[in-house]
Amino acid sequence: MSQALEILKAIAVGFLGAIGVVAFLLAGVIWVSVMDRRIAQSLGSESAQDAINLPEQLQRLALSLKSYMRGLLAQDAGRFLPWLASLISVAAGVIAFASLSFGPAVHLADFNTGLIFIFGAGFLAIHGEVLARGFSVQNAPLAGLARNAMRVASFEAGAALALVSGVILSGSISLKQIVAAQLDQGAWFFFLAPVGFLLYLASSIAGIDTVSRPLARTAVECGENPADRPGAFRWPFGSLGATIHLLIGAGLATTVFWGGWLRPFASFRDHFAGTPVELLDAMPPLAMAATAVYCRRVASSEKDAVRKQLMSIASAISAGLFVILAGVLFAPPAAIAAVHGAFWFLAKMAVYIYGFLWLRARIPQFRFGRPIRAAWNFLIPLAAINVVAVAAALVTRERWDWSPALSTLVMTAIALGIAIWLALHDMSQTTAYGVEP
Amino acid sequence: MFLDRLLFDFFAAIAAASALAMVTRRNILHAAILLLATLLAIGGIFLQLQAEYAFAAQLLLFAGGVVLLFVLVVMLLVPESLRQDASFNWKNYVISALVLVALIEILALVWARHEGTIWPSVAALPPNNTGAMGDALFRDDLLAFEFASVPLLATIIGVVMLAKRRTE
């Protein structure tokens, strides 16, 4: 009997967790699409000609899911593999996302080998991309498949090498221990390995931009006619997987370089007089209260009815979050750590994603040859050098008692010097390569 | 405990079924995807035995790397007509027979050793076995580990040489 209960409990926990992850991811995908569109609009780029608002995004996502499910259920022999392919891509993303730790105790799966696992899932997703392209676009040149896989793999290699600096500094490949190490050392790894973070950012931007575009852009770029929209939804679903991978990349960057669920100034631990509540734990509720007031103000002065409604909803959500974040301050410290940890993690992720989209919108998209050459001639060598530089900084700190600031500064300067030399060298070599393949 | 057993049976069933399906498919692309399923199920068994490193390596190297290579090579180099080769080839039967003999041998060995041997169980492992493995590879047996990397280095150099010759 107890065995049956045990199994039921395990299934229920897994099921609820899975629903939570999927719901969260879908919300994140919509948010990313809306943000991407807003950024494109603010740049006045041509792909932003038709403004897409939140309700339309929701409708698009629903249609996309509908046609996806219809395809899965059809079981047509010729079409089953493409659907399986996009299923692999999305499922790999969901599984990888589920293995992120959102707080000291907020996680679904805690592996010792979280970092490798997430990269493994990323390679699984490449399967999905390759298969989906191979089957769904009948007239796609096959060489394009290999190029896309190669491109993703190249930049994933660059991103992985960039993350190694975090592994060296923390001495672990467990995501929780990497965050714990940042608390112990009193500094986020961004400040100890800035070059590593920049390389990671560059690799993620270059690796993700042509293979996959967020929902909003793809539909426009496919020359989609509003009249026959459902027909175009095979592509958006492929890029749904890609948007999920953007979210995972943000989660990894937050964990490894931005201190995960740690609050800024995590080692400052003064308390409110006579309470166990720390002073800086007042930040999240205050931030949410300010957001709620701001959104309410914007809503009251907004002319557009839909936007007015959206801002009111945002204001209400912020107010709700304020209540939760402030209320938990009266709970035991473990609860504060969990809820506020999740808040900080998501806030950092949001900032990272916004910066990512902002940068990507401003960086021109090159065709195949240039990014690949940049990856192998510049990014990956520099990432390897950065690994050595970070290790050397660690040695100078531990053996010669250099201060963290000095060792980081010296080693960053050396890595940047080599980066400049590599870039100049690469430029002088450009003509020797002749025409791109 | 019972849950562990159930999970093991679940993954083992998937692994065995998709392995069987893999060797009986005519379409080699389908076979490659079934191989992926087999490898993932075996990875699940590793994870369930708390061999987290083996699980991650399985995912990254075999499921992610090797099978991806298979899929790409099949899609790029094997024409559609050859992907469903149904012609009789006696070599296949010889190879199948050899594999069958090897399989029976392994099963016999497992069966013979089954009595009285304590199989490594989860409880007997060190609590942080990923760390223990890192210690073994990078401290206790560093020399052997580095020797093993020499062929890999030779392979990398060989690949670079082949690729260079073609472009110049």
State how far residue A89 is from chain B, nearest Cα, in angstroms.
12
Q: CA A44, CA A436: separation in Å to the nearest integer?
A: 31
Nearest CA in chain A to B70: A127
**Vertex A420 angle, CA A422 and A150, to 5°:** 45
Write out the two tokens for B66.
């090797």
For residues A352-356, average pLDDT:
89
Question: If you ran DSSP here, which 8-state letter would residue A279 be given?
Answer: G
**Vertex A261 angle, CA A256 and A265, to 5°:** 95
For residues A91-101, average pLDDT:
83
- Contact across the interface for A112 and B75, Cβ inside 8 Å: no
Chain B from 115 to 134: CB within 8 A of any A CB:
128-131
B53 close contact with A: CB closer than 8 A:
yes
Helix axes A175-185, A234-257, angle to 10 degrees: 40
Report the pLDDT value the prediction gives residue A425, as an integer from 0 to 100. 78
Residues of chain B with Cβ-Cβ distance to A123 below 8 Å are 59-60, 63-65, 68
Q: Are B77 and B139 members of one domain?
A: no
Write out the two tokens for B27.
């379409």
Q: CA A170, CA A172: separation in Å to the nearest integer?
A: 5
Q: Are B84 and B6 members of one domain?
A: yes
- Contact across the interface for A113 and B71, Cβ inside 8 Å: no
Q: Is the pLDDT of residue B79 over 70?
A: no
Q: Are B84 and B156 members of one domain?
A: no
For residues B118-141, average pLDDT:
72
Determine, yes or no, domain membership for B148: yes
For residue A146, the one-letter residue type is A
**Out of B57, B72, B131, closest to residue A145 by CB:** B72
Determine, yes or no, domain membership for B101: no
A88-97, A110-119, A387-396, A428-437: least confident range: A428-437
- Contact across the interface for B60 and A120, Cβ inside 8 Å: yes
- Contact across the interface for A149 and B72, Cβ inside 8 Å: yes
Q: Which residues of A touch B (CB under 8 A)?
A: 3, 6-7, 10, 81, 84, 111-113, 116-117, 119-124, 126-127, 130-131, 134, 142-143, 145-146, 149, 173-174
- Contact across the interface for B55 and A117, Cβ inside 8 Å: yes
For residues A116-135, average pLDDT:
75
Determine, yes or no, domain membership for B105: no
Q: CA A425, CA B15: separation in Å to the nearest integer?
A: 50
- B42: CATH: 1.20.120.1200
Residues of chain A with Cβ-Cβ distance to B60 below 8 Å are 116, 119-120, 123
B54 close contact with A: CB closer than 8 A:
no
Q: CA B38, CA B40: separation in Å to the nearest integer?
A: 5
Confidence of residue A375 (pLDDT cuts 50, 70, 90): confident
Q: CA A197, CA A194: separation in Å to the nearest integer?
A: 5
Confidence of residue B39 (pLDDT cuts 50, 70, 90): very high
Residues of chain B with Cβ-Cβ distance to A128 below 8 Å are none
Q: Are B82 and B131 members of one domain?
A: no
A422 closest CA partner among A369, A367, A365, A384: A384
For residues A279-296, average pLDDT:
83
The tens digit of pLDDT for each residue in A360-371 reads 777 766 555 677
Q: Is the pLDDT of residue A431 over 70?
A: no
- Contact across the interface for A121 and B65, Cβ inside 8 Å: no
Determine, yes or no, domain membership for B7: yes
Q: CA A324, CA A322: separation in Å to the nearest integer?
A: 5
Nearest CA in chain B to A130: B72
Residue A435, helix vs strand vs coil: coil
| B27: CB partners within 8 A, 6+ apart | B83, B84
φ/ψ (deg, to 5) at A351: -65, -45
Residue B86 burial (CB count, 10 A): 5
Q: Is the pLDDT of residue A315 over 90?
A: no
Report the pLDDT value the prediction gives residue A134, as an integer from 0 to 100. 60
**Out of A7, A123, A130, closest to residue B65 by CB:** A123
Q: Is the pLDDT of residue A353 over 80?
A: yes
Q: Are B137 and B65 members of one domain?
A: no
Q: Are B83 and B139 members of one domain?
A: no
Enumerate the H helices of A223-304 as residue ranges. Answer: 234-257, 283-301
Determine, yes or no, domain membership for B136: yes
Beta bridge partners of B27: B84
Query: What range defines the domain where residue B59 resides?
Result: 2-88
For residues A15-40, average pLDDT:
80
Considering its fold, how many domains does chain B have in total? 2
φ/ψ (deg, to 5) at A107: -160, 155
Q: Are B7 and B83 members of one domain?
A: yes
The tens digit of pLDDT for each residue in A37-78 reads 777 777 765 444 444 556 666 666 676 666 556 555 554 445
B51 close contact with A: CB closer than 8 A:
no
CB pairs under 8 A between A and B: 81
Determine, yes or no, domain membership for B18: yes
Q: Are B9 and B78 members of one domain?
A: yes
| Spatial contact of A165 and A412, defined as CB atoms under 8 Å apart | no
Q: Are B13 and B63 members of one domain?
A: yes
Chain B from 5 to 24: CB within 8 A of any A CB:
6
Question: If you ran DSSP here, which 8-state letter would residue A140 be given?
Answer: S
* CA atoms A285, A291, A297, A300: torsion sign: negative
For residues A107-123, average pLDDT:
79
By the 10 Å C-beta count (0-12 exposed, 13-18 middle, 19+ buried), A229 is classed as middle
Instruction: Measure the CA dihedral A22/A23/A25/A28, to 10°.
Output: 170
Q: Are B80 and B18 members of one domain?
A: yes
Report the pLDDT value the prediction gives residue A235, as an integer from 0 to 100. 41
**Vertex A346 angle, CA A342 and A351, to 5°:** 150
pLDDT mean across residues, chain A:
75
Reported ipTM: the value is 0.76
Q: CA B17, CA B35: separation in Å to the nearest integer?
A: 11
Q: Is the pLDDT of residue A219 over 60?
A: no
Q: Are B77 and B142 members of one domain?
A: no
String of b and e for A163-183 (b: at least 16 CB within 10 Å)? Answer: bbbbbbbbebbbbbbbbbbbb
